[in-house]
Amino acid sequence: MRTDTKNWLEMADYDLGTARDMFDSKRYLYVVFFCHLAVEKALKAIVAERTGRIPPKSHDLVGLARKANLTISSSLTDILSKLTATSLPTRYPEDIQNVLKVYDRDVADSYLKQAREVVKWLGSQLS
C-alpha cells in the first residue's frame, strides 16, 4: 500500500474520532462536518491507491467514488449524496441557528453511524 494511501486512511480514522468527540460534546454540526471529511479522505485513499495520483481537490463524494472505480450500491450512493449535500451548509452556514436546528442530535447520530460503516467498507476495498 502506498504511503499516501495510508496517510489518507489515518486521517479518515482521525476525523471519525473527532466526529465522535464532537458528538459527545454536543457539537452536532461538526459531527456532520467531520463525517463528510472522514468519508472524503477514505475515498481519496482509494483514488490514490488505484490511480497512483494525488486525488482531486473535491468534496463531491459520488464523484470521488467514480474516480476510485468503485462499484457502489444505490443505498451507498444515497449516503454519499446526502453527505455531499452537507458540505456547504456545514462549512459556510448562511443562517447558523437554522443549520444548528437541522443538524440536531438524531441527525448527527445517524450520520456518524453511516460514516463509520462507509469508512470501514472503503477500507476493506483496499485489502
Structural domain total, the chain? 1
52: DSSP letter? S
**pLDDT tens readout for residues 7-61:** 999 999 999 999 999 999 999 999 999 999 999 999 999 999 999 999 999 999 9
pLDDT at position 39? 98
**H or E stretch at 125:** none
Distance of alpha carbon 18 from alpha carbon 86, whole angstroms: 17
Domain span at 90 = 3-124
- In terms of Cβ atoms closer than 10 Å to its own Cβ (0-12, 13-18, 19+), residue 102 is middle
Q: What is the pTM of this model?
A: 0.95
Average model confidence (pLDDT) across the chain: 95
- CB contact at 8 A, 114 and 19: no
Whether the predicted pLDDT of 127 surpasses 80: no
Domain of residue 55, CATH code: 1.20.120.330
